[in-house]
Copies of this chain bind each other. A is one copy, B any other.
Amino acid sequence: MEGMDHGTHCEEIDETASCFNSLTEDELAMIDRNKTEIKYSKGETIIKQGTKATNILYLKDGLVKLSMNTGENNLIINIKPQNHFISTENLYGVEFHPYSVTALQDCIVCFLDIEDVRYLIKQNNIFATDIYRVINANVVLTYDRLFSLTQKQLHGRFADILLCLSGKIFKDTKFDLPLSRRDLAALTGMAPESVIRIIKDFKNDKLISTQGKRIEILNMPMLKKISAVG
C-alpha cells in the first residue's frame, strides 16, 4: 500500500458554504450586519500581499487565484472557486496577508469581520470544527502541492493541475479555462513556453483537446498515470 496519493491537489472540502449551516439566526444576523459585500471584475486585485489582514473573506461567487510575488518571481499557490473562505491563516497569529488574491472571473466577495468570526468559533463549536476542517484540508493540499512542484517533472506537474481543475474546480472533463498561459506557468512553476509545449504534447497524444479557452480531457486514466509517475 502506497499510502496517500500525491496525484491531485485541490480543495478537499467542496462546499465550505456548509460551515454556515450550524449558525443560529442571531449569529447569522451578526455576521450579516458587519459584512461588506463587494463585486470585483476579472483581473482586479482583491488583496495585495503584505497588507495587514483585517477581514476574513468569503468568496460568494466567482474564481480567484492566490499568488506570491517578489520581483520577477510569481507563484500561484492556490485557486479557489465560489463558496470558499480565503485568508483563514489570518484568524489567529498571522497579521499580514502572505499572498495576493486576484479575481480570475467576476467575483462577489464578502468581507467578514475577523472579530466576528473569532467570536463564532468561540461560541459555536460546530462552526469552529467546520472552519478548522477547511484549514486543515488546505494544509494537506499545500503539502501535496509542495511535493508535486518539487519532485515531479513538467508533464507530471501539468497533469496534476489539469486533474485538479477538472476534478475539484469545474467538476467536469470539459471546462473554459479563465487562466492565461502565464497563469498556468505560475501555477505549475514553469516557463510559459513550457506550458505551451506540454499542451502541444498532450494534444498530440490525444490526452486532451482544446479550442480557444476550452479544454477537454480525453484520456483521464493516462493523465492520472502521468501524474503518478511524475
Cross-chain contact B135 with A68 (CB below 8 angstroms): no
Once the chains are docked, how many angstroms separate the CA of A50 from the CA of B98?
A: 29
Give the residue of B1, B97, B128, B136 whose beta carbon is less than 8 angstroms from that of A89: B136
Cross-chain contact B2 with A70 (CB below 8 angstroms): yes
Give the residue of B1, B3, B51, B73 whose beta carbon is less than 8 angstroms from that of A147: B73
Q: Chain B nearest CB: distance from A196 CB in Å?
A: 19
Given contact pairs A142-B142, A147-B73, A3 touches B51 in the complex (Cβ within 8 A): yes
Given contact pairs A92-B132, A93-B132, A132-B93, A143 touches B98 in the complex (Cβ within 8 A): yes
Interface positions of A (Cβ within 8 A of B): 1-4, 6, 12-13, 48-51, 68, 70, 73, 75, 77, 88-94, 96-99, 121-122, 125, 128-129, 132-140, 142-147, 149-152, 189, 230
Write 7 A-B pairs (CB below 8 A) sorted by A numbering: A73-B151, A77-B147, A92-B133, A128-B128, A139-B142, A142-B143, A150-B150
